Amino acid sequence: MGKRRYAKRKARQTYRHMDTVMENLLDLKDMFAEDHEDLAAMLQSIMELQLMTQQILEKWYVRCWGAAPSDWNADS
């Protein structure tokens, strides 16, 4: 596999892992929301930063390869 294809695959994989992180953070936030609103609010802030990071990665991807994938799960 060429370096370009491998790099694109790694970038898409990283993007997908960020989705998993968001799911985990949401689960944690739900666990803390009732008894620890302050901690849940902190997790909300972390989630917002994570989303911003994912959006920046998408912009980086576009800068590298001209367009964001229509399907981040695709292997091309």
Residue range 22-61, pLDDT digits in tens: 999 999 999 999 999 999 999 999 999 999 999 999 999 9
**Which pLDDT does position 76 carry in this prediction?**
58
- Domain ranges for the chain: 3-65
> Global pTM?
0.87
Which range has the worst mean pLDDT, 41-45, 66-70, 71-75? 71-75
- Taking the C-alpha atoms of residue 3 and residue 33, their distance in angstroms, rounded to an integer, is 44
